[in-house]
Amino acid sequence: MNTIRNTKVYILNLGKLECDENWMVAMSTVATKDNKNVATHWVEIPVYAVLIDHPEGKILFDLGCHPQASEGHWCPELVNIFPFTFAEHQRLENQLKLVNIRPEDITTVILSHMHLDHIGNIDLFKHAEVYVSRKEFEYAKTLVHSNQDPKSHGAYIKSEVVAPVKCYHLLNEDTEIFPGIEFIALPGHTAGSSGLIVHLEKEGVLIFPMDAIYNKTVYGPPARASGLVYDSIAFFKSIERVRSLAKKYQAQVMFSHDMAVFENMKKAPDYYC
């Protein structure tokens, strides 16, 4: 795989979620006979998108949460389990402004999957071409059309899953979408969860597994399950696939919901190149 010149990768800080750590790492806190009322661990996790300024266009990988998530866009149960907060400067539009880009400048959106914290701003990109796993697309569409409640589909929101865009490109396998940008299948977290590999000229290879691997603890070794797994066998295979790719490319693995790792990432307007 060739590296790509004149390309910049920006991490867009879109706020944070809070939750019981058991959602991130299954069985993080476990009661015993001697401690039957063990306290859970409440954590903060980052929400971010990846902007790629590529010779063939402006690309966004994932879209964060809807800005009105806590104001009725999500059902109350989800807000209670995963409260979402952000500052005004962390709105997606304002993060893009940091690098003088507008939503309408984005030509391509790539989705790791269609959960509400990764597709929430899809309404800003009706003009864009969107790439997503076919399995993910079909599963999400089926799920949101199988229940009359528009907000009760696990981590999928009907209005986001069915939002109109210019075109959906449904991917059946690993695909080099643009030179130096590889879409890779990492199922397990969801039916069609996926990641992105970006080959940069100066800083080498970045692997964004997104929710296939939430954090360093899940990555291991040994690998650990998260609290949200669609297919446990595929989940662990995907972790080991990322480990193999990271070794092959001597890559940095950019976890999706690890606050300690996120704090050390370069954030827009700084960039990887």
Asked if the model's pLDDT at residue 2 lies above 80, the reply is no
On the question of pLDDT at 256 being above 70, the answer is yes
What pLDDT band is residue 153 in, cutting at 50, 70 and 90? Answer: confident
Domains, the chain, in order of start with CATH, read: 8-263 (3.60.15.10)
List, for residues 98-142, the tens digit of each pLDDT value: 999 999 999 999 999 999 999 999 999 999 999 999 999 999 999
For 96, residues 6+ apart whose C-beta sits below 8 A from its C-beta are 12, 51, 102, 103, 105, 106
pLDDT tens per residue, range 175-209: 999 999 999 999 999 999 999 999 999 999 999 99
The confidence score (pLDDT) of residue 32 equals 92
Name which of 2, 5, 9, 6 is nearest 207 in CA terms: 9
Neighbours of 255 (CB within 10 A): 25
**Separation CA 90–CA 67 (nearest Å):** 10
For 239-251, what is each residue's pLDDT tens digit?
999 999 999 999 9
pLDDT band at 152 (very low <50, low <70, confident <90, very high): low
Banded model confidence at residue 151, pLDDT cuts 50, 70, 90:
low
Q: What pLDDT does residue 154 have?
A: 80
Write out pLDDT tens, residues 159-177.
999 999 999 999 999 999 9
